[in-house]
Structure 1
Amino acid sequence: MDNPNLEPEKNRRQPMTLERPKKLKILVVDDEPDNLDLLYRTFRRDFQVLKADSGVTALQLLEEEGEVAVIISDQRMPEMKGTEFLSRTVPQFPDTVRIILTGFTDIEDLVEAINAGQVYKYITKPWDPGELKGVVQRAAETYDLLKQRTEQLRRAHAHMDLLAVLVEVTQAGSGLEDTLKPIAQAFAETLAADGCILQLMEHNTLIKTQGVYSESGIIKNWLAQDPLTQEAIASKQMQLCLNIPKDSNLNSVNYYDDNNVKAHLVIPISYRSQILGILSIQWQESCSLREDELNMIHLSAELVAIALASACCSLKEK
């Protein structure tokens, strides 16, 4: 199989991040309207700022909005102290970085919260805006780094699971058709795709033998008419479009619109320069793929080629 990381041809589509990174979300909590407004205005340019006037309201807001990078909370609030509110966010949002604002000397609560890992830092009131911005920026960077490492670990485990499935299928010596669906499912689940088709080829022509996996249980196979698939077959190289609505060559293709496919990756499965099949991975949202993911896909496709070649040889021997 040709290496997808070689210098691209002129018309070859390349993986890229298609959307600018969104601003991180932070949540500011204070029962005093003036302070709440000041916190909002301090951070609105750099972050997507959510605000709440009490711990109870803030918990409800988190249920609706989901995880935020940083929470900045006042300590002395009616109904619920800041430290109590922050402690309640830990089980559901362990990666969120928490900062407490305090204007009094209730050190015992703060020390307990910090020692329990519930508070990243405390700032005394009245705070210096420049200092607070610096603390929040470092907190956001800490959150971002933590999420990146968590995601890298998740991907590494997912990649290992995929390779394990492929090796198992390769060694099982099952019939050709029996190997196709588990492979399609493994790729779809590893890459968080909405659908996957693994279709065999003979003499550079797609045949009916295929393995199909879809989260919804329904996926139409139209690869014979797909421009991206035809390009992959002709070039014998991985082809992808990660934002179909913005691709003038594909956004007019009815299938993509009818089935809400926003991103498509097509991989020729080649063994000794012969294309044995096509692997089509489809998403219903525009996405991006990192270089390490493409390398993993390339390696996995080589294992698939070995599995298919082995199954084809077994059929011929019979």
Structure 2
Amino acid sequence: MSLNRPKKPKMLVVDDEPDNLDLLYRTFRRNFNVFKAESGIRALEILEAEGEVAVIISDQRMPEMKGTEFLSKTVRSFPNTVRIILTGFTDIEDLVDAINSGQVYKYITKPWDPNELKTVVQRAAETYELLNQRTAELQYAQKQTRLLGTIMQVAQESQPLAASFTAMATAIGENFQTDVCILQQTSENTLTTVEGIYSSSGTAENWLSDDPLVTAALSTGNIQASINIPRDGAISEVQHYQTSEIQSHITIPVSFREKNVALLSLQWKQPCQLTPEELDPLECVAQAIALVLVSVNLDVSA
């Protein structure tokens, strides 16, 4: 059983009255990592230092800067943060404008009921998590679309085969944030001299012909991986892993009509941080590579 506790979401509470500020802090400190600010100016400083928070609760009537004015300054940098206004006055015009422009999620009138405010904040935190999830999914889908577009664009360009391999390895390596990405042609399940290499550091050694994961991938036609090589007794003693500092390696056979035509190698110098969902598109990427290799007249029919 893990003893690690879930990380508390961050909250910022803003009020020029110390008693109200302390009350807000005590109300939410159990479930949130709460930051306090006595003014909008100070709140902006905290956000600059701490980064995005899940929820902001701000008083409306404060000297120097009204709550709605402060919140409007946070929208561009932190679009997913959920904002709540506390008001004891009937500033309807300000509040309506703020809500209509997406700057405020909800307003609560003073004196506020603790249970009501807790319910609103809980829903706000859930909204924040949902927004973050949808934003991440959209960004991921856009990245995959761009990657596949780049791979298919290679097929439309007239360039030497090695240059095509390099262009595809670079696009894949950058997309998956690898330290090294190698795309290498195969013939009869043996690696050939045609290769494309991407390295985040600018240089990389190609030892794939001596790698047990590559041998298994080509012989079985299935993806082979070790996501934490130092703890993998089967390959941790292989010399090139010790000298190259590679700690995770995924090898994907690229096949056309059940015949291997290339081998894709993704390498990181730390245990793989990608989730299974993020790795799922690798098979689609391999299929796209196979189509590109066919289109650039690589002999895959023999």
Task: Describe the shift of the 1:30–1:233 C-alpha distance in structure 2 as closer, same or farther (beyond 3 A).
Answer: farther
Residue of structure 1 in register with 2:139 after alignment: 154
Fraction of identical pairs, as percent: 55
1: CA distance between counterparts of 2:300 and 2:260? 17
Q: Report which stretch shifted further, 307-316 or 40-49.
A: 307-316
What aligned pairs does 1:63-142 form with structure 2 within 5 A after superposition? 63-142=48-127
Contact 1:102/1:124 (<8 A) preserved: yes
2: CA distance between counterparts of 1:256 and 1:26? 44
Residue of structure 1 in register with 2:221 after alignment: 236
RMSD: 3.4
Q: Report which stretch shifted further, 237-246 or 293-302.
A: 237-246
CA displacement 1:82-117 (0-9 Å, x = unmatched): 211111111222222111122333333323322222
Q: Any stretches of 5+ residues in structure 1 without a counterpart? A: 1-18
Q: Which has the higher contact order (CA 8 A, sep 6+)?
A: 1
Shift of 1:255: 6.2
Contact 2:253/2:262 (<8 A) preserved: yes
Q: Report which stretch shifted further, 278-287 or 307-316.
A: 307-316
Contact 1:200/1:210 (<8 A) preserved: yes
1: CA distance between counterparts of 2:243 and 2:5? 27
What number of residue pairs does the alignment pair up? 298
Which of 147, 165, 168 is the equivalent residue of 1:183?
168
Contact 1:176/1:312 (<8 A) preserved: no
**Secondary structure at 2:139's aligned position in 1?**
helix
Which of 250, 265, 283 is the equivalent residue of 1:265?
250
Q: Any stretches of 5+ residues in structure 2 without a counterpart? A: none
CA displacement 1:146-190 (0-9 Å, x = unmatched): 222222222222222222222222344533211111111221233
Whether 1:289 and 2:282 are equivalent positions in the alignment is: no
Whether 1:210 and 2:195 are equivalent positions in the alignment is: yes
One-letter amino acid of the counterpart of residue 83, structure 1: T
One-letter amino acid of the counterpart of residue 96, structure 1: T
CA displacement 1:265-311 (0-9 Å, x = unmatched): 321112233333221223456423344x4443212201212333554
Contact 1:184/1:197 (<8 A) preserved: yes
Taking structure 2 as the reference length, the TM-score comes to 0.81
